[in-house]
Amino acid sequence: MSNNGGVPYGSDEPTSFGLQPPSPAVPGQQPGAPGQPSAVPYPGNPYAAPTQVVPQQQARTDAQVDAQEPGAGRLIAGRYRLLSKLGHGGMGTVWRAKDETVDREVAVKEPRVPDHLPERERANAFERMRREARAAARLDHPAVVNVHDVAVVDGQPWIVMELVQGRSLGDALQEGTLGVREAARVGLEVLGALEAAHAAGILHRDVKPDNVLLGRHDRVVLTDFGIAQIEGETNLTDTGGFVGSPEYIAPERVLGQRPGPASDLWSLGVVLYTATEGVSPFRRSNTPATLQSVLNSTPAPPGSAAGGPLAEAINGLLDKDPSRRPGAGQVRSLLEDAAKPPATAPTQVVRIEGQQTAGQLAGPGGKGLRVGRKALFGLGAAVVAAAVAAYLVIADPFAGPLPDGWKKHHVQDVAATLAAPASYKQSTPDRSTDKGHWVTYTDPSGSIWIGLTLAKKAEDTNKTIKDSSAAEMYADNDTFKADGEYDLGMPENPKTDTNGSTTYQGNKSAENTVRYTTTDSQNPRPRELKIFYYKSKAGDMYKLTISYPGQGDFTARGREVARTAIANLDIDKL
């Protein structure tokens, strides 16, 4: 959605849910493509209801105006032609419009006030809209929506803004949580907008996911200053009431105390918690219960960012006492640390020869693979022929924003967030036959797959987890070198490049690259496999595997997938 206006929750908001992380995605179920109804990958997540995502729309001629929408085609102030509705909130309806004077598309906010309201309340509502225009127009920051004009029609202010192509953070959360680094990046942009507003003497007072727009080229925009309070101006809120969304309102505002910049920062903390955990920490079944939870409830510690700078920022921002909350400078420092990509050590290439051991990987199509003489989980010949074996190059990890067409998936069973192209199909264990912890994402062609396995120390009764990431990697490498028949169609003694001195977020990790030609007598194919190893402080072993052809058109694409998947792996607890 674009410039959606934001919808505050009313006292009859029918929402209620337990305070727990979102469930992993339903196997085989994929979120819809842009503009299509989305699946529900996080059952129980109140943000995960199926939704129709508004696609990025191109400029349209007057003849293409949606005649089914009342008001479409109307000309405002002699220059703004209304085309289609983008969204609506408590303060009005936002239209996509064409500025016929300068031939550009804009967003126009139409005031929406019930006719039965007394004249004083109607005047207050219109004054709030004028405040929105004044507040936003005073701010010069890339994360604040630009206001072009205020057109007065029949005494009512129509606010003309830039059209931000994209959708709201609230819409994005319908498809799943954000990874730690992406949430920190979004948080930094919103923080910048708030810093600019506070420097100008403006409090936003309604920071929430629906008011954070995710635009093109990784742009993040804070919008809807319709209830902003400008320093020195009269408060328009009626006695005993408040404006804003209850679950994001700071405790001091609930108590009727004078708000300050710390109140907006509280709201940012709630947004970051919601974005990473998949649940809103204070929302309850009705507004009074929600306000009580804001005052008295302590949410569960953020699990996806546990122990890191993002968790420290969230915990500090959600302090009930505004005087104890961190200031914008401290929050910025923590978010910058959380947004940094994993550090990497220089690549070294080593050839290792050794004895046979066994190692478990996440295989194509969601099958668990034991790389050794015997298969722990059998694979059908068709699966092996289509999508077995893999290639992961030893290279500097991909750094930068997630590429277009990729999505992040938090999978509770492997306690991590993975990035994968949106078209890849997810597979998870069938608990009736498989007690392992793994997930795979497979390209529709079957040529490339991404798999993550988690071996938990608490379940390692046979003591098969090695003492370090490097030791686990070398043990697997010995398996690749040994004689025998392999589930990956791998012959004995393939070429391997090992690197036991890489780092992941400052901790030791390891990588291995395996190159070989499959043993398929009818159609032998060059394949390559890369495995990223990380042993957590708790003793759990993670193995991230990316597989694709070793030669041909898919090779370059496979290397790109490998770099991006490794760089964007976010393990829940370090």
pLDDT, tens digit (0-9, with 9 covering 90-100), for 277-299: 888 899 998 889 999 999 999 88
Residue 270 near residue 320 (C-beta atoms within 8 A) = no
Closest residue by Cα to residue 551 from 520, 518, 521: 518
Whether 169 has a pLDDT exceeding 90, the answer reads yes
Residue-wise pLDDT tens digits, 528-567: 888 999 998 889 999 999 988 888 878 888 888 998 899 8
Q: What is the dihedral of CA 478, 480, 482, 488, to 10 degrees?
A: 150
Residue 533 near residue 545 (C-beta atoms within 8 A) = no
Q: Read off the pLDDT band of 97 (50, 70, 90).
A: very high
The Cα–Cα gap between 54 and 190 comes to 22
The Cα–Cα gap between 36 and 49 comes to 13
- For residues 3 and 121, the model is more confident at 121
Report CA-CA distances (Å) from 456 to 437, 460, 502, 520, 540.
8, 6, 22, 34, 5
The whole-angstrom distance between residue 552's C-alpha and the CA centroid of its chain comes to 33
Count, residues in the chain: 574
Residue-wise pLDDT tens digits, 353-401: 333 334 455 555 444 444 433 332 333 333 333 333 332 333 333 344 6
Name the active-site residue from 206, 224, 443, 572. Answer: 206
- For residues 232 and 245, the model is more confident at 245
- Quick one: pLDDT at residue 149? 85
Residues making up the binding site for ATP:
109
CA atoms within 13 A on the CB side of 433: 7
Q: Read off the pLDDT band of 90 (50, 70, 90).
A: low
Query: Residue 407 belongs to what H/E stretch?
Result: strand 406-411
Q: Which tokens hold the place of 10?
A: 């009313």
Q: Read off the pLDDT band of 338 (50, 70, 90).
A: very high
Based on the residue annotation, tell me whether 66 is a catalytic residue of this protein: no
CA atoms within 13 A on the CB side of 323: 2
Highest mean pLDDT: which range of 228-237, 295-304, 336-345, 391-400: 295-304
85: which strand partners? 95
> Looking at 195-204, 206-215, 316-325, which range is the least confident one?
195-204
Residue-wise pLDDT tens digits, 304-315: 666 689 999 999
Whether 269 has a pLDDT exceeding 70, the answer reads yes
Q: Which tokens hold the place of 523?
A: 């159609």
Residues making up the binding site:
109
Q: Quote the DSSP letter at residue 552.
A: S
Dihedral class, residue 154 (left if φ above 0, else alpha if ψ from -120 to 50, else beta): left
Q: Read off the pLDDT band of 176 (50, 70, 90).
A: confident
Report CA-CA distances (Å) from 410 to 205, 416, 417, 452.
30, 6, 4, 12
- Quick one: pLDDT at residue 49? 33
pTM of the predicted structure, to 2 decimals: 0.50
Query: Residue 368 belongs to what H/E stretch?
Result: strand 368-371
The whole-angstrom distance between residue 339's C-alpha and the CA centroid of its chain comes to 13
The Cα–Cα gap between 306 and 309 comes to 9
Residue found under tokens 């192209």: 421
Q: Is 301 helix (H, G, I), strand (E, B) or coil?
A: coil
Q: Which tokens hold the place of 533?
A: 């190893």
- For residues 229 and 155, the model is more confident at 155
**Could you please report the per-residue DSSP string of 484-551?**
S--TT-PPSS-EEEEEEEEEETTEEEEEEEEEEE---SSS--EEEEEEEEEE-TTS-EEEEEEEEESS
Residue 520 near residue 385 (C-beta atoms within 8 A) = yes
Give just the sign of the alpha carbon dihedral 92, 93, 94, 99. Answer: negative
- For residues 501 and 565, the model is more confident at 565
